[in-house]
Amino acid sequence: MDFASLIGFLSGLALIISAIFLGGSGDVFVNVPGMMIVVGGTIAATLLTVRYKDVTTAFRAAWIVFTVDDSDPQEMIDNMLELSKISHRNGLLALANVESNSNFLKRACTMISDAASEKMVEKTLQTEIDSLYARHFKIQDVFKKMATYAPAFGMLGTLIGLIQMLSALDDPSSIGPAMAVALLTTFYGSLLSTMIFLPIAGKLKARTLMEITNLEIIREGSLSILSNDHYANVYERLSSYIPEAQRKPLIIGSQASAENIS
């Protein structure tokens, strides 16, 4: 559970709600038809824009906002160094037995142990990275589109309310409450966009970029292992992916005992 995200979400909600109750009763801010226009309209336009399957995938992916990101480039570099040691000691064929949580890493190992050419390894792994990026982009795009549609339907709702109010302008004293109701949909639309859709789209993008850094480390490491680079060279090539301050010095004499890499 990512507590920073949870605290962010709850405190943002609390701020808005307390601002509403500080100014009087919260009843004024509940308007079911208005909510239906904004939420329903946003979903309707999104269904028209993207495939149904992508919408459901996107909503499942949204949960990622509250999960801790446990990907660690440093750990991935250590893994690749272990693999480099293994390949130097036991030959490239030994990589066939490597166990890992990452299917991408397992796939790279299988290709290396199958004696695939460098060009083949590079192209296949790069296609997989590009393809993953394209799929994740499609999911982020669902939320970016919703962040655009929500305020647009909010404005449509406000326009409907304003036109109804203005066309029946008998009693000047009724203007205020009617305009308040009309503005509610704009409020709903902006709130959904700012507090929900934009942050989710941003977080999904950040996660994708981190995942791709990890995959690039695997790709570079695999190519380095395949071309039989020295252990220190593999370290040199891969450590460029993390900031100087976080780099661990290379300990040449360490034991590559565990072949089971997390």
Position 128 contacts its own copies (CB under 8 A): yes
Nearest-approach distance from CB 82 to its own copies, in angstroms: 20
Q: 101, 173, 255, 257: which one contacts its own copies (CB under 8 A)?
A: 173
Q: Phi and psi of 260, rounded to 5°?
A: -90, 105
17-36 positions binding its own copies, by CB under 8 A: 18-20, 22-24, 28-29, 33, 36
82-101 positions binding its own copies, by CB under 8 A: none
Q: How many residues bind its own copies (CB under 8 A)?
A: 103
Position 256 contacts its own copies (CB under 8 A): no
Position 149 contacts its own copies (CB under 8 A): yes
Q: Among residues 227 and 262, whose Cβ is nearest to its own copies?
A: 227
Position 74 contacts its own copies (CB under 8 A): no
Nearest-approach distance from CB 257 to its own copies, in angstroms: 28
Q: Among residues 90 and 177, whose Cβ is nearest to its own copies?
A: 177
Which residues, including other chains, have CB under 8 Å from residue 203's CB and lie 6 or more apart?
5, 64, 65
Position 221 contacts its own copies (CB under 8 A): no
Whole-angstrom distance, CA of residue 194 vs CA of residue 185: 14
Q: Among residues 82 and 220, whose Cβ is nearest to its own copies?
A: 220
Position 133 contacts its own copies (CB under 8 A): no
Position 134 contacts its own copies (CB under 8 A): yes
Position 176 contacts its own copies (CB under 8 A): yes
Q: In sequence order, what E strands does 132-252 have?
A: none
x-marked contacts with its own copies along 192-211 as a string, rule CB under 8 A: -xxx--xxx-xx--x--x--
Position 51 contacts its own copies (CB under 8 A): yes
Is 231 within 8 Å of 77 (Cβ atoms)? no
152-171 positions binding its own copies, by CB under 8 A: 152-153, 155-157, 159-169
Q: Among residues 28 and 262, whose Cβ is nearest to its own copies?
A: 28
Position 243 contacts its own copies (CB under 8 A): yes
Position 235 contacts its own copies (CB under 8 A): no
With the C-alpha atoms ordered 131, 103, 224, 95, is the resulting torsion angle positive or negative?
negative
